[in-house]
């Protein structure tokens, strides 16, 4: 969205040049995790006779019944078509995708859906899921919330080696529901060519994002590889760790942190650690939104946002900052390495550069590679 993020530099919501899809190299792809599947129910057993293997027939009802009855499940080793209802995952489920297994979302007109829905569930593990959305064949034009995996109030959730692409909204979406999402791990995963964000966190605590590749996010704002952005001031959001993150060719930004809705009267703490990040090819490398001019007394958000060991390349603007950070948690930048893009400039203008460099040099934390 446009708003507090862009107050200082008067950004509009357009990039400086046309966007084109750019495939990531095979060297950056993440290998399948081998998981022992002895004793797992094979979903092939739930399909009707004479089933097809080309994802041309909707098998949602058959798959859902099997997921409801079985807690250890192995998907078939061929593509499966799922309709707009998506698949609800139950408590204490372990799901495995073998090589060749994948799920396609059937084209629809909904503005909001999820292929996998983890709502108020506990103790779920999903290995090697391959999910392909329907953004290229979407029937409607409204909405932006078609998710690959939606975790809403989930606890003790581990997603390993996910490959999620072409979603109408986000590849992965994490938020709160009846309960606060807690102890969520997204590991060794690739999110490619999703329309809104690669991964969004609007609520939750004790969230680990490790070895993530988020690429080619394009279609509707914010268009970030990772977006941390609470929806309102009542949200519980804390203890987020991002480590070994690669962002490539995401249209607007590699990492966006927008907390302007979070301050409210009463105790509020937020900690974010983001380290060892490689951001290449976005309009803005890291976008840290500002806050409004005033909030009620006692609304300051405590805690710390620590962003360190970062390489930013080929961006119009490596880091975008705003104003009024006295209402937010302490922000600490450390060990930033900037590489010139095609323009040959690190920042759009002198005002941007001097503002950012002054902030960082006061802490002696910046290194610029010319």
Domain segments of the chain: what residues?
Answer: 77-368
pTM value? 0.92
User: 266 falls in which pLDDT band (50, 70, 90)?
Assistant: confident
> What is the per-residue pLDDT for 366?
62
> What is the per-residue pLDDT for 369?
59
**What does the H/E/C string look like for the chain?**
CCCHHHCCCCCCCCCCCCCCCCCCCHHHCCCCCCCCCCCCEEHHHHCCCCCCCCCCCECHHHHHHHHHHCCEEECCCCEEEECCCCEECCCCCEEECCCCCEEEECCCCCCEEEEEEEECCEEEEEECCEEECCHHHCCCCCCCEEEEEEEECCEEEEEECCEEECCCCEEEEEECCCCCCEEEEEEEEEEECCCCEEEEECCEEEEEEEEEEEECCCCCCCCEEEEECCCCCCCCEEEEEEEEEEEECCCCEEEEECCCCCCCCCCCEEEEEEEEEEEECCCEEEEECCCCCCCCCCCCCEEEEEEEEEEEECCCEEEECCCCHHHCCEEEEEEEEEECCCCCCCCCCHHHHHHHHHHHHCCCCEEECC
> What is the per-residue pLDDT for 368?
64
> What is the per-residue pLDDT for 3?
29
Q: Dump pLDDT digits (tens) for 52-79.
A: 999 999 999 999 999 999 999 999 999 9
> What is the per-residue pLDDT for 105?
98
> What is the per-residue pLDDT for 364?
61
CATH topology of domain 77-368: Pectate Lyase C-like (2.160.20)
> What is the per-residue pLDDT for 121?
98
User: 6 falls in which pLDDT band (50, 70, 90)?
Assistant: very low
For residue 32, pLDDT over 80 is answered with no
> What is the per-residue pLDDT for 125?
98
Q: Dump pLDDT digits (tens) for 72-131.
A: 999 999 999 999 999 999 999 999 999 999 999 999 999 999 999 999 999 999 999 999
User: 4 falls in which pLDDT band (50, 70, 90)?
Assistant: very low
For residue 347, pLDDT over 90 is answered with no
Q: Dump pLDDT digits (tens) for 284-339.
A: 999 999 999 889 999 999 999 999 999 999 888 888 888 888 899 998 888 888 77
């Amino acid at each position: 969205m446009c708003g507090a993020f862009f107050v200082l530099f008067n950004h509009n919501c357009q990039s400086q040049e046309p966007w084109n899809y750019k495939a990531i190299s095979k060297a950056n792809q993440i290998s399948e995790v081998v998981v022992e599947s002895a004793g797992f129910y094979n979903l092939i057993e739930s399909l009707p006779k004479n089933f097809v293997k080309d994802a041309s027939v909707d098998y949602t009802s058959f798959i859902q019944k099997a997921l409801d009855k079985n807690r250890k499940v192995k998907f078939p080793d061929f593509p499966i078509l799922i309709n707009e209802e998506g698949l609800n995952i139950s408590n204490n489920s372990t799901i495995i995708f073998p090589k060749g297994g994948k799920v396609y979302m059937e084209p629809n007109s909904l503005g909001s859906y999820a292929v996998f829905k983890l709502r108020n569930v506990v103790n779920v593990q999903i290995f090697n899921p391959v999910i392909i959305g329907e953004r290229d064949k979407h029937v409607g034009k409204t909405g932006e919330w078609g998710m690959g995996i939606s975790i809403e109030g989930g606890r003790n959730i581990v997603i390993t080696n996910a490959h999620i692409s072409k979603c109408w909204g986000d590849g992965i979406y994490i938020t709160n529901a009846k309960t606060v999402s807690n102890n969520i791990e997204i590991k060794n995963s690739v999110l490619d060519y999703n329309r809104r964000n690669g991964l969004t966190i609007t609520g939750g605590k004790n969230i680990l994002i490790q070895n993530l590749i988020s690429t080619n996010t394009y279609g509707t704002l914010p268009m970030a590889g990772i977006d941390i952005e609470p929806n309102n001031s009542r949200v519980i959001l804390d203890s987020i760790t991002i480590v070994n993150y690669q962002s490539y060719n995401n249209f607007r930004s590699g990492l966006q942190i927008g907390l302007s809705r979070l301050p409210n009267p009463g105790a509020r703490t937020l900690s974010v650690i983001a380290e060892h990040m490689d951001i290449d090819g976005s309009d803005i490398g890291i976008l840290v939104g500002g806050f409004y001019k005033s909030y009620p007394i006692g609304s300051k958000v405590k805690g710390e946002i620590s962003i360190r060991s970062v390489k930013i390349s080929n961006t119009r603007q490596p880091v975008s900052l705003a104003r009024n950070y006295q209402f937010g948690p302490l922000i600490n930048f450390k060990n930033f390495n900037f590489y010139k893009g095609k323009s040959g400039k690190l920042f759009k203008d002198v005002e941007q550069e001097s503002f950012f460099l002054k902030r960082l040099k006061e802490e002696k934390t910046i290194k610029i590679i010319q």
